[in-house]
Amino acid sequence: MDHLLASERPCEKLINAGPAMLTDVELLAALIRHGQKGRSALSIARDLLTRFGSLRNVCTADKRDFCAVSGVGLVKYAQLHAALEINKRQHEEQLQKDSVFHNAESVRKYVQLHLRDQQREIFGILLLDNQHQLIAYKELFSGTINAAAVYPREIVKQVLADNAAAVILVHNHPSGVAEPSQADIQLTKDIKAALSLIDVEVLDHFIVADVLTLSLAERGLM
């Protein structure tokens, strides 16, 4: 078992020095909290990082694969994903306070949290009120690793149901390449045309990839 000074224990270190001072292993150990007989939380955290290769891979691991690591189970899996969901929701709270149209970076971070690690292509929309503040984020279509069928008519129905005044489109590229295809550009135009009939503006279309999240508006492709 690891024998640590109080100042070296992950939870105490987080409280005294702040979370930014913890290593990936220490952050996981602080979340795990308790080890098992003969093994500390730090030892289990090391096993998780060794098994999955990175902190991001631990966070996106399949439930069965995660629980297969000795020392963790469904409760630890639930705790981890509760922490991840809290992170998503606090970003959503900030979007609800901000003027979304004038804070593209907040939108970029938010959609990254939702879509960057998805294994299938997902198409969603951020529904905004007439002050361009967030009403809701809805994932409307999902598909294979490289395609999702998107129907503008269904988007119009959702916009009307939520009484939105504007929308931001978003989808992910699981391939890791953010560059928009001609199909992406044409789809954006088709959705803009459909929503213009009910006086709803499309403010942007974000494409989420592994490293880059690209804005079609910033590229002048709207």
The mean per-residue pLDDT over the stretch 1-8 comes to: 47
Helix (H) or strand (E) holding 142: strand 134-142
Handedness of CA 48, 53, 58, 64 (dihedral sign): negative
Percent of the chain predicted with pLDDT > 90: 57
User: Six-digit token pair at 21?
Assistant: 């001072």
Q: How confident is the model at residue 145 (pLDDT cuts 50, 70, 90)?
A: low
Fold of 6-86: DNA polymerase; domain 1 (1.10.150)
- Residue 6's pLDDT is 43
Residue in the structure block whose two tokens are 């929701």: 89
pLDDT tens across 158-170, in order? 999 999 999 999 9
What pLDDT does residue 1 have? 43
Average pLDDT over residues 185-204: 96
Contact call for residues 165 and 129 (beta carbons, < 8 A): yes
* Greatest C-alpha distance within the chain: 67
Domain positions in the chain are 6-86, 98-215
Please compute the mean of the pLDDT values over residues 178-182 and round it to a whole number. 92
CB 145 within 8 A of CB 119: yes
Q: Which of 29-33, 136-140, 191-195 has the lowest mean pLDDT?
A: 29-33
pLDDT, one tens digit per residue, over 46-64 is: 999 999 999 988 998 999 9
3-state DSSP of 145-207 = CCCCCCCHHHHHHHHHHCCCCEEEEEEECCCCCCCCCHHHHHHHHHHHHHHHCCCCEEEEEEE
Collapsed DSSP state (helix, strand, coil) of residue 30: helix
Do 148 and 120 touch, CB atoms closer than 8 A?
yes
Q: What is the third-level CATH fold of 98-215?
A: Cytidine Deaminase; domain 2 (3.40.140)
Q: Which residue has the higher pLDDT, 98 or 105?
A: 105
Question: What's the mean pLDDT when you consider all of the chain?
Answer: 89
For the segment 9-14, the average pLDDT, to the nearest whole number, is: 86
Residue 8 pLDDT exceeds 70? no
pLDDT above 70: percentage of residues in the chain: 95
For residue 159, the model assigns a pLDDT of: 98
**Burial letters 105-130, b for 16+ CB under 10 A, else e:** ebbbebbbbbbbbbeebbbbbbbbee
102 falls in which pLDDT band (50, 70, 90)? confident
Confidence of residue 89 (pLDDT cuts 50, 70, 90): confident
